[in-house]
Chains A and B, each alone.
Chain A
Amino acid sequence: MATIDLDTKKESDRRLALLALTNQQPEPSSPCLDAEELACLVEGQLAPEKIEVCLAHLTGCEQCYATWRQLDQEWQQQPSGANRKRGMLLRLFSRPRFLATAGSILAVAASIAVFLNITMQTDRDSLLQFSTPLTQKQKHLTAPPAEIASEPANSRSQNLEQPAAPSPQALEERREKKARVDRDHAMEQKTAAKPSAMDANRAAAVRPAPSPAVSGTPAKKSEMAAADKRADKSDGVSEKEAAAPAPAPPQQAMPAAGSLSGRASVTGLLTLAEWQRMIREGCQGQPGPDFFGDISVQGRKLLARHDTVILTQEERRQVSSFLTLLADQHQQTASRRCQALLAVLGPLTGDDKQ
């Protein structure tokens, strides 16, 4: 049915066209086209205004019209001509289907390029993170992410315990580092601060389950000491970098109350002033259950530093007394423990405010 309609439409169009052609018979308005004009017309080498003149002549001159058609057919059949190739290319490029296909291909290529770029960028970042932890630490210390500072305390502590999608290798590395710091702290307490038995028990409780290497032979102990030295060395470098004036603005370097504890447990790096400020800010609000554990860990880390420029002997003693107080009053309520801590800290000085 559709075919019949199409045929009818075609036949109707043909009759209409023949009527229109019969209606008007123009006379040639210009002399016949010479051979080169015809050749240029067929090859599309004529200027637009010249083409109009030539076409006007062709409508009135049957001989030139017949020559034009024959020449066009001959030109089409030329096997290998540069112009023919160019004509084919032009026709190919002018096809909307070709343009649509080319556009789709380009879009896909761009998508792949963007995807690969993002993927490689991510891989590079993660590689850099694993290979240069010091740089990463410095980055965290100087400019903590805004979302960490603005998060509520509960979610913050959850985030700190479970950082955003860390790899198993990174977690293992962090655990090892924390264990070294704790061991170092315990040894320091034994030698310098003469901690009580309770403090030792608490340190043992905080410390993760000792590996067989810790309680092993002297050879193994020397191995462990060497590893600790390496860790201390790396920590020392980071501490020097941390002690340098931070380029970030104060509000970034000193986030809201309680946020320091979260940051400290992530980075493990605090100065004495920051640690004291952390205690003051924590005790001014309502300290959470992890607060005293965090400040205890930070205090031990401070003591673990062998750098006397950062921590003087007097300050070491002060930190040790804090830790002892924390250990002695671990059965007291949070407010009482805070009162005791604030009493030891004394009134707020100008340095502490900074």
Chain B
Amino acid sequence: MNPWQKQALTQWDMINRMASRRFQQTSLAEEAALFVMDGLAADDWRRLQAFTGRSTLATYIGALTIRLLEDFARLRFGRVRAPLWIRRLGGIWMSLFRLLCLERFSPDEAVALVSNHHPGQVRTTEEAAYQILGEIPSCGEHQGEETAYCEETTLPAADGECSAQERQLEQEERRQLFTILGRLLLSDTGEGVDPRLLERVAGVGITLTPQERLLLQLCYRDGIAVAEAGRMLGLNRHQVSGRLRRLLERLRQDFAAAGLDEELRLLL
């Protein structure tokens, strides 16, 4: 037996487990796991032979498995370009959009699948799922087909200038982004925020380092606990708490320095 094959078979349980998490249906999960094994074995185990030993082999095979499972889903369900506001929000929003609108899972199944990957944030995920279904009435109608959001259908720029149709589309997307964001921000009151006000706030030049941005994403967009987010970024719980506190304080100061005190007070 090929030594790489032997190594891959030792991780068979992990591959099966990851496939089951990714796809709720058992048959689909088994099919996906076999697809992963085929992908690993392709070209005489080329992917495994590229392993240089900087990490553990199990984690490396795990990373390959996640990528191959996404390839399987794309082959099976096609691909779709999410609307701008979904892409801007990213994280669980993108996952939910894909599960709900592309793979046609029910909201409960989609929430369960996302919660499998991100336990402890079921409420946030549920709210996001119903928000997506409410904002995109045609979600899930075009299974396996290229949709209007697909990257390939994006109009190319003509001679370096955007066409009027493209500009109009962009403006429409931005308006939709701020409208939905306003609803998200004040979801507890049931009121919305004027999109122009949000556009002004969003126009302020805020500089975030990659680590700061990821920290905000993990903690406030994806609902991960602060200590857990810190661990993922290589910080202990005390470091991450202090860093987050200082970052939020700095953001308040930046918005205030841009003359948005009143808007910020209204929004927050």
B-side residues, CB < 8 A to A, are 14, 18, 47, 50-52, 54-56, 58-60, 62-64, 66-67, 70, 87-88, 90-91, 94-95, 117-118, 177, 181, 184-185, 188, 198, 201-208, 210-211, 213-214, 216-217, 219-222, 231-234, 236, 238, 248, 251-252, 255, 264, 267-268
A15 touches B185 (CB 8 A): yes
Indicate whether A24 sits within 8 Å of B206 (C-beta atoms), given known contacts A55-B214, A83-B56: yes
- Sort A-B residue pairs by CB-CB distance and give the 6 closest, nearest first: A39-B55, A17-B220, A35-B63, A39-B59, A55-B210, A56-B210
Is chain A's binding surface mostly helix, strand, loop or mixed? helix
Does A71 sit at the interface, judged by CB under 8 A?
Answer: yes
B213 touches A21 (CB 8 A): yes
Give the one of A63, A71, A91 with max B CB within 10 A: A71
A74 touches B18 (CB 8 A): yes
B268 touches A62 (CB 8 A): no
Does A52 sit at the interface, judged by CB under 8 A?
Answer: yes
In whole angstroms, how far apart are the Cα atoms of A217 and B232 in the complex?
97
In whole angstroms, how far apart are the Cα atoms of A159 and B206 in the complex?
83
B234 and chain A: residue at smallest CB distance: A44
Give the one of B58, B221, B238 with max A CB within 10 A: B58
Give chain A residues whose Cβ lies under 8 Å from the Cβ of B205: 23-24
A71 touches B267 (CB 8 A): no
A43 touches B181 (CB 8 A): no
A67 touches B234 (CB 8 A): no
Is chain B's binding surface mostly helix, strand, loop or mixed? helix
Which residues in window 272-313 of A have CB below 8 A to B?
A: none
- Residue in A59, A66, A83 whose CB lies within 8 Å of B95: A66
In whole angstroms, how far apart are the Cα atoms of A78 and B56 in the complex?
12
B268 touches A15 (CB 8 A): yes
Indicate whether A75 sits within 8 Å of B62 (C-beta atoms), given known contacts A40-B55, A69-B118: yes
Beyond A21-B213, A74-B62, 18 additional contacts (C-beta under 8 Å) are A16-B255, A20-B208, A22-B88, A25-B88, A35-B63, A36-B50, A39-B56, A40-B55, A52-B210, A59-B213, A65-B90, A65-B217, A67-B67, A69-B118, A73-B118, A78-B14, A82-B56, A83-B56
In whole angstroms, how far apart are the Cα atoms of A54 and B177 in the complex?
28
In whole angstroms, how far apart are the Cα atoms of A18 and B52 in the complex?
39
Does A19 sit at the interface, judged by CB under 8 A?
Answer: yes
B220 touches A36 (CB 8 A): no
Give chain B residues whose Cβ lies under 8 Å from the Cβ of A39: 54-56, 59-60, 62-63
A74 and chain B: residue at smallest CB distance: B62
Give chain B residues whose Cβ lies under 8 Å from the Cβ of A35: 47, 60, 63-64, 67
Does A96 sit at the interface, judged by CB under 8 A?
Answer: yes
Indicate whether A20 sits within 8 Å of B66 (C-beta atoms), given known contacts A36-B51, A40-B54, A69-B117: no
In whole angstroms, how far apart are the Cα atoms of A75 and B94 in the complex?
22
In whole angstroms, how far apart are the Cα atoms of A63 and B59 in the complex?
18
Indicate whether A42 sits within 8 Å of B216 (C-beta atoms), given known contacts A74-B18, A91-B236: no
